[in-house]
Chains A and B, each alone.
Chain A
Amino acid sequence: MDFITAQNLIFRYIDEDEQVNNENVKNVLDNVSFSVKKGEFVALLGHNGCGKSTVAKHLNAMLIPESGKLFVDSIDTADENEDFTIRRKVGLVLQNPDNQLVASIVEEDVAFGPENLGVEPQEIRRRVDDALKAVDMYDYRFQPPHKLSGGQKQRVAIAGIIAMEPSCIVLDEPTAMLDPKGREEVMSTIKKLNKERGITVVLITHYMDEAVEADRVIVMDDGKVLCSGTPKEVFSQVELLKRHRLDVPQVTELCYKLKACGVEIDSLSLHSDECIAQLTEVLL
């Protein structure tokens, strides 16, 4: 069985206080099924409000599907007794780095997770140092978070999750509030964690160029899974994506348009160097 298996998830945000007819509330997740293998880097792509953040909160049992099943490492997330077991396995990094740091010193914030788990003090020390080194923030361990840049803060937030030693981290638009430099820092950290430590990564994003870096892309629209596959497979379906008002990476779009004009390009490239190679071949 895969590390994460979602079967026909349906979810709605139901307002229990108000006497509205809940029958008419739209499904935020409408029959969503997917799976994530251990050690895989999956990007979940979609517009704002397409349900991708809702999926993120399902993955660590913050939300429970209304119907359908979600298994994390063969544990059903609907089992209330297992909430914290699941949260130890799947760490969730949120969008705003400011609102997820608890302590006013970097290393103490990273220690927050392991402290909650009741880990021994020496072991916490080891994990904190290890996690801070993993995200290249070890030199900043005595700094207060408000003196750091956005990218640095987000890396500290990732370290806080790594210190709990989860086998999977889910990042809910971790770069949405960052400047280009911060985005790059966070993306390379994520890739490094996936490659060097074998941590399963689910990256939720609406940036196409970030999704290209993943092993597999799942595209969501309007609460449904639109398509999934390797970045190459997904982004070659330019018409389908355009129909759902989604973009493709600029390079891919260029290739697509050239091809439409009759230039002989056999496959749509995802990276600029790949595209340059192709174009030089055509031109020479």
Chain B
Amino acid sequence: MRDIAFGQFYPAKSLLHRLDPRAKILLLIVFIVLVFCTANYYSLLLVILGVFSVVLFSKVPLRLYFNSLKMIIVIVLITSFLNLFYGTGEPVISWGFIKITLEGINNAIFVSVRILSLILISSALTFTTSPTDLTDALERLMKPLTVFKVKVHEIAMMMTIALRFVPLLLEETDKIMSAQKARGADMESGNLIQRIKALVPVLIPLFVSAFRRAYELAVAMECRCYQGGEGRTRMKSLHLHTRDYLSILVVIILIVGVVLCNVLLPQAVR
């Protein structure tokens, strides 16, 4: 149970692991936009090539990627099935009032490939970046937002603490559940409503202890001179290396490729 929580990170020594987390987050966003900008099979192929090279470069076992795809496969099937029937033009198959057009088939293929690449590429980010690096990078990337009075440091601090306490609270849930079971609580039988009701004696002690922990943590942080983000320094400073610039360059080439394919070759979907 303890491993599901952000157990996403897979430590290895690949190029992707060593990239600057800020660069990775930005490139991920660019890539996602790119995936949705594909207009024909040539550009789609380019994107698929990009996704596969990222997956291979990450040195993360393919099994893990399959696991993350498994959760989403139903949604992919449903959306692509529905997309089959949307589309104008000459019907390829018509059966009563149901008409499947070439555009509908294209739509279905594009939607499923887009969702699958989206999942693969974002799993690649979480597999290759430790949660602390992620929050750190987010804090630095959101820094400009302080102009708009967004409390960037506070948000990052909350994420850090959440990451720290999730495994702890999971462990505690386990303990409370065992304790309640030992007192005769029945959590496994009954219908849905009964089971939800059975969770109340677990949730209440959990909340009480979470608040107590929060109080103690606040005291401990104050003891360690925490005064908010102002005047705070960081032990790790992030620097962009050649590999980061190279990966940015690769993505730019990919963007150019996709745009060229879209413009020069006939479009398959709108």
* Contacting pair A105 B132 (CB below 8 A): yes
Q: B164 within 8 Å of A by Cβ?
A: yes
Q: How far is the CA of A113 from the CA of B233 in the complex (A)?
A: 10
* Contacting pair A99 B216 (CB below 8 A): yes
Q: How many A-B residue pairs have CB under 8 A?
A: 96
Count B-side interface residues using an 8 Å CB cutoff.
Answer: 30
* Contacting pair A115 B163 (CB below 8 A): no
Q: How far is the CA of A144 from the CA of B170 in the complex (A)?
A: 15
Q: In the complex, which residues of chain A have a beta carbon less than 8 angstroms from the beta carbon of B235? A: 107-108, 111, 114-115, 121, 124-125, 128
Count class of interface residues, chain A: 35 or more
Would you list which residues of chain B between 83 and 115 have a CB under 8 Å from chain A? none
Would you list which residues of chain B between 203 and 234 have a CB under 8 Å from chain A? 213, 216-217, 219-227, 231-234
Q: B155 within 8 Å of A by Cβ?
A: no
Closest to A163 in B: B224
Closest to B237 in A: A121
Q: A72 within 8 Å of B by Cβ?
A: no
> Would A146 and B168 be within 8 Å (CB), given that A115-B232, A116-B224 are in contact?
yes
> Would A145 and B225 be within 8 Å (CB), given that A99-B217, A100-B220, A115-B232 are in contact?
no
Q: B161 within 8 Å of A by Cβ?
A: yes
* Contacting pair A116 B132 (CB below 8 A): no
Within the complex, the shortest CB–CB distance from A72 to chain B, in Å, comes to: 14
Could you tell me which A residues sit within 8 Å of B by CB distance? 60, 62, 84, 87-88, 91-92, 94, 96, 98-105, 107-108, 111-121, 124-125, 128, 144-146, 160-161, 164
28 contacts between A and B (CB under 8 A): A84-B225, A87-B223, A92-B223, A94-B220, A98-B213, A99-B217, A100-B217, A102-B161, A102-B164, A102-B217, A104-B131, A104-B163, A105-B130, A105-B132, A107-B235, A108-B132, A111-B235, A112-B224, A112-B226, A113-B224, A114-B235, A115-B233, A116-B224, A116-B227, A121-B236, A161-B224, A164-B224, A164-B225
